[in-house]
């Protein structure tokens, strides 16, 4: 089985993997993940936090149907540090974790999340959102799954020109 780096190189032979994606392939060293000052796990994107960042030109999340010709978007990919990095799981590990709202109790058990916790509610919301998507929209669970979707015939039929630049 190929590593995510090898899979990227095979899928995009003339394209170096961006540093921010490389950073997400390294596991978080034990003992370096700390809860935020509000007692929340920094690896989760909390829905009420998203409301604070409502500028439609600046985002990390978007739906393809919202893209328009000539539109400019600033994608915010914060520099990863081990205190809040949420690494990609290898495909084998991601595929071993259930990804269905019917399996929430098992998911919570795998991640040792109390059923009444804020994180458990976010798991419910995230799965409900993914399950509500149209058949041609995906919630990839690994870097390899994201690459597969990006290079699939249904995705390649829609091509977008993007200018990538680094903002300090």
pLDDT in tens, 103-121: 999 999 998 899 999 889 9
164 in any annotated domain: no
The structural domain count of the chain equals: 1
Taking Cα atoms as reference points, which of 21, 20, 47 lies closest to residue 7?
21
163 in any annotated domain: no
Rounded-to-integer distance, Cα 6 and Cα 91, Å: 13
Domain of 93, in residue numbers: 4-29+39-156
Give Cα 129 distance to the centre of its chain.
Answer: 13
99 in any annotated domain: yes
Three-state secondary-structure class, residue 75: strand
Measure the CA angle with vertex 14, ends 22 and 16; round to 5°. 15
Give Cα 76 distance to the centre of its chain.
Answer: 13
pTM of the model: 0.59
CB 100, CB 139: distance < 8 Å: no
Give pLDDT tens digits for 63-98: 667 767 777 766 655 554 444 556 778 888 889 999
């Amino acid at each position: 089985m190929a590593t995510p780096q090898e899979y990227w190189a095979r899928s995009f032979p003339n394209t170096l993997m961006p540093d921010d994606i490389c950073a997400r392939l390294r596991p978080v060293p034990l003992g370096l993940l700390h809860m935020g000052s509000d007692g929340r796990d920094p690896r989760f994107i909390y829905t009420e936090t998203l409301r604070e960042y409502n500028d439609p030109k600046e985002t990390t999340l978007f739906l393809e149907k919202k893209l328009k010709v000539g539109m400019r978007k600033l994608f915010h990919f914060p520099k990863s540090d081990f205190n809040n990095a949420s690494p990609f799981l290898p495909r084998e590990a991601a595929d071993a974790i259930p990804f269905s709202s019917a399996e929430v109790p098992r998911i919570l058990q795998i991640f040792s999340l109390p059923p009444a916790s804020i994180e458990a509610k976010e798991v419910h919301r995230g799965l409900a959102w993914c399950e509500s998507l149209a058949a041609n929209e995906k919630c990839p669970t690994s870097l390899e799954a994201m690459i597969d979707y990006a290079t699939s015939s249904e995705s390649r039929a829609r091509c977008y020109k993007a200018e990538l630049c680094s903002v300090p």
